[in-house]
Amino acid sequence: MTTVELVEQADDAAISAFLEGVLKARLREENRPVAICLPGGSTPFPILQRLAETMTDWGGIEVWPGDDRIVPEDHPASNTGKLRALLEPLGARVVALEEGAAPPHFSLVWLGMGADGHIASLFPNTDPQVDDPATVRRLTPDPLPPEAPFDRLTLTIPALLDTDQLMFVIRGDDKRKVFDEARIGAHDLPVARLLGAARQPVTCFA
């Protein structure tokens, strides 16, 4: 298990500045497109909107969603559609998840986490494995979240761990408790499985 750097009381501006620093450093260092993995949900997009206002050139950056609902891209629940609308006008290449896809090595994987310990769409009922031979799986959360009652495509734990660094944004006392317990291996929820197998730097904004 890797050590997690906790950044307390981080607002959207601080997280956006961190992301901008990582992306610009990787673009300077790499001679290939820089690939990153971004989450969906209500927390990331205000941060990404702020980042898009300060970092207006995303040329050379390939963006993968960590997971998506199986809906058309113009559906309000589509993570890919939202990412494409925000970042492709700035020059990013947004990749839609497909079964059998071969994700690249990521420079950064940003994950959210649910109060049930799920990451991407790896919910507890799906029993995600750290040695999953697949990189993308189609899954049905159980129970289905009422705000997004759809089957999902999601990167697996090995695909999410194929990265130089991991980051989380955790908000709310209930989620923080689950995450803190995952850091010390106090449960076996998906987030704990990922952290237990992680060897790269992990930054958590809380």
Say what angle helices 44-54 and 79-87 make with each other, to 10 degrees: 10
pTM of the model: 0.94
CA 115 to chain centre: 16
| pLDDT computed for residue 190 by the predictor | 98
Residue-wise pLDDT for 13-50, tens only, equals 999 999 999 999 999 987 778 999 999 888 899 999 99
> Helices (H), strands (E): how many in the chain?
6, 10
Residue numbers in the chain where pLDDT is lower than 70: 1
| pLDDT computed for residue 114 by the predictor | 92
Q: Tell which phi-psi region holds residue 115, choosing left (phi > 0), alpha (psi between -120 and 50) or beta.
A: alpha
Which pairs count as long-range contacts for 182-186, CB under 8 Å and 24+ apart, including other chains?
182/117, 183/1, 183/4, 185/1
d(CA 64, CA 194): 18
Count of domains forming the chain: 1
Its domain, for residue 16, covers 4-205
Q: Tell which phi-psi region holds residue 127, choosing left (phi > 0), alpha (psi between -120 and 50) or beta.
A: left
CATH number at residue 137: 3.40.50.1360
